[in-house]
């Protein structure tokens, strides 16, 4: 928690852009912020031209005024470095700092995230404005934290490869990155099998960017993607080093639910995880997947620096959200371990970009229709603050792997047309589990496995990173249950196939032999389970001959008939379960129930599928936060008596929640 006793979580606020409005309007805004129950505003992230109107001339008077007025009203500030949006004097004087498209054309001034993350001149300008800000505000106790830049990641199409900067600086740094990794060009040629099609290089200076070859080599694409992630990680670290030298506040950078940058590598150099998300209506529950992914990034809680009051939008809106949505959406991050929920944005812009985006008040300063709900959320945060601040979401012993590196390999070689890695993991593994009240952490492949008893690793094509193979082996032999596949352990670190087996270690660990694999398109194949249930697989079909393993499910059709689809085998004190196909929801849940007894894990509650139940414990005791996610009524049977801190009602036995309802239950009160 922050050292100033005036500013304590849960933090509740919005992104505020006073540089876009007359300064005399601040008092009116603050009065509405106080009425809304807000205690933090996020300021400055796009205001470089206001802070440095001419090169070397700095104006922070207006920003000091904002911080002072907010602080006097009991509202803290999260201060953003403005390096996402350079001023026109900079881009005019040095157009070489601008992003270069694959065509060789430099983008023009305007927009955001349109500069090269590797350009040394731009890095120098970013360092100067960051240092000046830190000198001016680094010891100000009205500031509770810093946000570096904004949504730092390659911007582009859904593959993540078309809009990474392709300037000469990036090109040369990529070649140096590859030389440092491989040592010799012969080692790279061999790892990537470039003797095929005469693709081998004579030197690292011949390596192209991803944009200069007609048919991109998957290993080149994967390496280019990793290089870009590291470029942005290093870009943020350069500013973090300055801030750590000159400030007393925790430092972070707000991240989005995309894997084109390595979230874990990015936050290694930072103090607080910051995260932005926008999920509405039927996709609202998707938000919990990413929140469960952000929470384990660091041991401390994280901040949701952007979410919506009701809709998002740029030149068009995403549509109306029903009453209660804002409440459920605002409580969801807090339930799942966040210290903060902030909206984007406080007051809608009057011109320019994103005029149709939802906000707290309109461009005219009029509270929007959900304002009473916003006020009620603030009251609820204050009422439950002691319990929320004194507890954390409990680990349930179940985890799912999700990683930038898996995304990179699966994006360059998706195996199935239209397959999107994170979406498949979310929809086919995570969502079925949480609908049946299993509460998995979603973890990077670098995370320590201590404390987990069941681990799902779908679509982890390479076990070569972060020492994962050795750590997995030790964890399984010590008693862990590993559910591997499909598409797991099928590539080496460079995205190449193995030559002695379709897998690296999975045949040996799993007690199986895989004679062949059949793609799932255009049809699916039937399975018969050991309890004689029949169902279908999906996506891919690895055929297994058990070599010591037990067949839990067997294929029934064509060349696959009689071969195993799902197997299980002991390994030390643990076990390895191999999925040759992606299971349907009922089969995945049945498998989880089968494994649960041996692994000593249980669902967190008996509750409706549309209810997210998050057990919490800590110095403030035990309890749970419940959030209804589907705009429907929900029921839950609680394990203990308690009180709902939001309304003071005693709870004994079954609790019913209305559509988008929220409850904060403290047991034993």
**Residues 545 and 579 placed together within one structural domain of the fold:** yes
* Total domains in the fold of the chain: 3
Tell me if 420 is assigned to some domain. yes
573: domain CATH number is 3.40.50.880
Tell me if 528 is assigned to some domain. yes
So what's the pLDDT on residue 181? 97
30: domain CATH number is 3.20.20.80
- As beta bridge partners, residue 481 has 454, 575
So what's the pLDDT on residue 163? 67
646: domain CATH number is 2.60.40.1180
- As beta bridge partners, residue 593 has none
Tell me if 195 is assigned to some domain. no
**Residues 581 and 520 placed together within one structural domain of the fold:** yes
Mean pLDDT confidence for 59-79: 98
So what's the pLDDT on residue 155? 62
Mean pLDDT confidence for 47-57: 98
**Residues 276 and 410 placed together within one structural domain of the fold:** no
**Residues 544 and 428 placed together within one structural domain of the fold:** yes
So what's the pLDDT on residue 158? 35
**Per residue in 620-646, pLDDT tens?**
999 999 999 999 999 999 999 999 999
**Per residue in 236-288, pLDDT tens?**
999 999 999 999 999 999 999 989 999 999 999 999 999 999 998 778 989 99
Tell me if 263 is assigned to some domain. yes
| Ranges 215-219, 377-381, 663-667: which has the least confidence | 215-219
Q: Which residues contact 22 (CB under 8 A, 6 or more apart)?
A: none
Mean pLDDT confidence for 205-232: 87
**Residues 291 and 402 placed together within one structural domain of the fold:** no
**Per residue in 323-378, pLDDT tens?**
999 999 999 999 999 999 999 999 999 998 888 899 999 999 999 999 999 999 99
Residue 71 has pLDDT above 90, yes or no: yes
Domain boundary among 370, 390, 410: 390
**Residues 354 and 419 placed together within one structural domain of the fold:** no
Residue 162: band (very low, low, confident or very high) from pLDDT cuts 50, 70, 90: very low
Q: Angle between the 218-246 and 404-412 helix axes, to the nearest 10 degrees?
A: 150
**Residues 321 and 469 placed together within one structural domain of the fold:** no
Contact of 637 with 605, CB cutoff 8 Å = yes
Domain housing 610: 606-667
Residue 66 has pLDDT above 80, yes or no: yes
Residue 523 has pLDDT above 60, yes or no: yes
Task: Name the phi and psi angles at 414, rounded to 5.
Answer: -70, -10
**Residues 514 and 579 placed together within one structural domain of the fold:** yes
Collapse the DSSP code of 196 into the 3-class scheme (helix H, G, I; strand E, B; otherwise coil) and give the result: helix
So what's the pLDDT on residue 3? 59
**Residues 413 and 461 placed together within one structural domain of the fold:** yes
Domain boundary among 390, 415, 433: 390
Residue 54 has pLDDT above 80, yes or no: yes
**Residues 147 and 291 placed together within one structural domain of the fold:** yes
So what's the pLDDT on residue 415? 84
Q: Are strands 564-571 and 550-555 parallel, antiparallel or unpaired?
A: antiparallel
Tell me if 49 is assigned to some domain. yes
Residue 151: band (very low, low, confident or very high) from pLDDT cuts 50, 70, 90: very high
**Residues 315 and 424 placed together within one structural domain of the fold:** no
pTM for the predicted model, two decimal places: 0.96
So what's the pLDDT on residue 570? 98
Residue 437 has pLDDT above 70, yes or no: yes
Contact of 613 with 605, CB cutoff 8 Å = yes
Tell me if 139 is assigned to some domain. yes
Domain boundary among 559, 581, 599: 599
So what's the pLDDT on residue 213? 62
213 against 576, higher pLDDT: 576
So what's the pLDDT on residue 315? 77
Rounded to the nearest integer, the mean pLDDT of the chain is 94
Residue 2, CB half-sphere, CA atoms under 13 Å: how many? Answer: 29
Contact of 579 with 595, CB cutoff 8 Å = no
Tell me if 210 is assigned to some domain. no
* CA 507/CA 378 separation, integer angstroms: 54
Task: Name the phi and psi angles at 274, rounded to 5.
Answer: -120, 140
Residue 299: band (very low, low, confident or very high) from pLDDT cuts 50, 70, 90: confident
* CA 486/CA 519 separation, integer angstroms: 12
Tell me if 113 is assigned to some domain. no
Mean pLDDT confidence for 57-82: 98
**Residues 577 and 612 placed together within one structural domain of the fold:** no
**Per residue in 78-121, pLDDT tens?**
999 999 999 999 999 999 999 998 888 999 998 888 999 999 99
């Amino acid at each position: 928690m922050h050292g100033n006793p005036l500013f304590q979580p849960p933090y509740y606020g919005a992104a505020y852009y006073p540089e876009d409005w007359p300064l005399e309007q601040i008092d009116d805004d603050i009065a509405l912020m106080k009425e809304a129950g807000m205690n933090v505003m996020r300021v400055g992230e796009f205001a470089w031209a206001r802070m440095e109107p001419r090169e070397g001339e700095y104006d922070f008077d207006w920003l000091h005024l904002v911080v002072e007025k907010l602080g006097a009203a009991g509202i803290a500030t999260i201060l953003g470095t403005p390096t996402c949006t350079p001023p026109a004097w900079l881009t005019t004087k040095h157009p070489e700092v601008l992003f270069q498209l694959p065509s060789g054309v430099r983008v023009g001034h305007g927009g955001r995230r349109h500069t090269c993350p590797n350009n040394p001149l731009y890095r120098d300008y970013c360092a100067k404005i960051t240092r000046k800000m830190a000198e001016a505000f680094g010891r100000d106790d009205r500031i509770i934290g810093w946000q570096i830049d904004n949504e730092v990641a390659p911007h582009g199409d859904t593959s993540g490869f078309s809009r990474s900067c392709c300037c000469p600086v990036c090109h040369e740094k990529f070649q140096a990155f590859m030389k440092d990794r491989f040592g010799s060009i012969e080692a790279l040629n061999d790892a990537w099998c470039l003797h095929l099609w005469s693709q081998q290089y004579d030197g690292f200076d011949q390596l192209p960017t991803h944009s200069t070859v007609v048919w991109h080599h998957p290993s080149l694409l994967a390496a280019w993607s990793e290089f870009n992630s590291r470029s942005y990680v290093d870009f943020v670290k350069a500013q973090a080093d300055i801030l750590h030298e000159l400030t007393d506040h925790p430092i972070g950078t707000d991240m989005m639910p995309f894997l084109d940058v390595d979230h874990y590598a990015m936050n290694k150099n930072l103090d607080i995880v910051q995260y932005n998300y926008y999920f509405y209506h039927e996709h609202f529950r998707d938000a919990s997947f990413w929140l469960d992914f952000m929470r384990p990034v660091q041991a401390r809680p994280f901040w949701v620096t952007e979410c919506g009051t009701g809709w998002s939008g740029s030149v068009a809106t995403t549509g109306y959200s029903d009453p209660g949505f804002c409440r459920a959406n605002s409580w969801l991050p807090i339930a799942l371990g966040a210290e903060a929920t902030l909206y984007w944005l406080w007051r809608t812009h009057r011109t320019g970009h994103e005029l149709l985006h939802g906000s707290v008040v309109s461009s005219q300063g009029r509270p929007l229709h959900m304002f009473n709900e916003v006020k009620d959320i603030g009251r609820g945060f204050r009422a439950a603050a002691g319990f929320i601040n004194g507890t954390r979401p409990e680990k349930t012993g179940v985890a799912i792997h999700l990683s930038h590196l898996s995304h990179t390999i699966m994006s360059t070689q998706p195996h199935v047309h239209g397959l999107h890695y994170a979406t498949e993991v979310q929809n086919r593994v995570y969502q079925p589990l949480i609908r049946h009240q299993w509460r998995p952490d979603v973890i990077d492949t670098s995370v320590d496995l201590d404390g987990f008893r069941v681990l799902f690793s779908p679509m982890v094509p390479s076990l070569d990173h972060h020492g994962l193979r050795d750590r997995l082996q030790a964890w399984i032999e010590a008693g862990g249950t590993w559910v591997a596949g499909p598409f797991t352990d099928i590539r080496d670190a460079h995205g190449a196939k193995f030559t002695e087996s379709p897998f690296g270690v999975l045949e040996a660990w799993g007690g199986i032999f895989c004679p062949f694999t059949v793609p799932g398109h255009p049809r699916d194949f039937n399975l018969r389970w050991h309890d004689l249930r029949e169902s279908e697989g999906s996506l891919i079909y690895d055929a297994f001959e058990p070599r010591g393993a037990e067949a839990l499910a067997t294929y029934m059709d064509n060349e696959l008939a009689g071969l195993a689809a799902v197997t299980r085998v002991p390994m030390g004190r643990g076990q390895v379960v191999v999925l040759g196909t992606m299971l349907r929801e009922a089969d995945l849940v049945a498998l989880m129930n089968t494994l649960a007894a041996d692994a000593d894990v249980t669902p967190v509650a008996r509750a409706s599928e549309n209810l997210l139940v998050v057990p919490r414990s800590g110095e403030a005791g035990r309890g749970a936060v419940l959030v209804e996610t589907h705009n429907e009524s929900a029921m839950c049977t609680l394990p203990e008596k308690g009180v709902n801190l939001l309304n003071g009602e005693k709870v004994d036995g079954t609790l019913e929640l209305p559509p988008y309802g929220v409850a904060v239950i403290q047991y034993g009160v």
